[in-house]
Amino acid sequence: MPELPEVEVTRLGLVGPLQGARIEAAYLGKPLRWPLQCLPQSLVGRTILDVRRRGKYLLMDLSEGLLLWHLGMSGSLRLWPTRPDPGLHDHFDLMTTHGCLRLNDPRRFGAVVYAPAESSPQAQQLLGHLGLEPLQSAFQPQGFHQALRQRRTAIKQLLLAGDVVVGVGNIYACEALFLAGIRPTLSAQRISRPRAAALHAAIQQVLSRAIAIGGSSLRDFTGTEGQSGYFQLETKVYDREGQPCRECGTTIRRRVQGQRSTFYCPQCQRN
């Protein structure tokens, strides 16, 4: 958390306002997860050409090089008309002709990394292992099923790994598996082609819906104007342990997989 929908919501809030902006200053506070890889003042004078997304990373294309932003577990980006006084959890400010972009991250697992190009080692170290984008045309049911057939790991953990399909974080993996009627502990290679197609559709449905309503604001995430997301109000199983299933009334259960909480309905997800 934040996951793909929250990062995409952030991208949508930045791409219009920042496109064509010129960087006037950059301020780095407490150290983040990875070093910036350049002196902050070296960014001054460069123009922001575009803001893209790859998995959970924001790629800010500059007139020279690019910045890769990661929100970690608790980060958010907010665009201010002018630079406010920095608070305890404000760790990076990018001053531009179109406003101040600020990274706030209470747990400091987020990062801002400069790379000369997307193909450079600095970028590929972060992006090179990522799987297919779930909302792009390259992510097809047949190829998804073929990838599942090669893996013995539990399907929930495969979705979180991000090397087959990227960005399906814990909340959305739980919800997609529920919609597809698949038990989270089922081995990926045991999922049939029709069920893989159902899961493929569920992943796209869940992620698209989350983006449409601003993502999930469980703890710290807010959009670029400080707005909350509302997907957490619609979840079928996530964070609903002990409550009745919205479909069949069976009590929702929780179990731990790979140190992450998995929520599921034992009736709707028997197989």
Whether the upstream peptide bond of residue 2 has omega within 30° of 0, thus cis, is yes
Residue 24 contacts residue 93 (beta carbons within 8 Å): no
Q: Count the neighbouring beta carbons within 10 Å of the beta carbon of residue 88.
A: 9
Annotation marks residue 175 as catalytic: no
d(CA 87, CA 8): 25
Residue 214 in 3-state DSSP?
Answer: coil
Catalytic residue chosen out of the listed positions 52, 193, 253, 260: 260
d(CA 5, CA 124): 22
Residue 164 contacts residue 233 (beta carbons within 8 Å): no
Nearest-10 crossing angle of helices 141-149, 193-212: 120
Annotation marks residue 225 as catalytic: no
Catalytic residue chosen out of the listed positions 3, 6, 8, 175: 3
Residue 10 contacts residue 58 (beta carbons within 8 Å): yes
Annotation marks residue 260 as catalytic: yes
Annotation marks residue 133 as catalytic: no
Catalytic residue chosen out of the listed positions 2, 5, 134, 184: 2
d(CA 101, CA 120): 25
What residue has token string 């995409």?
8
Catalytic residue chosen out of the listed positions 53, 56, 156, 240: 56
Residue 214 contacts residue 232 (beta carbons within 8 Å): no
Q: Which of 93, 96, 119, 117 is nearest to 104 (CA)?
A: 93
Any idea which residues carry the catalytic annotation? 2-3, 56, 260
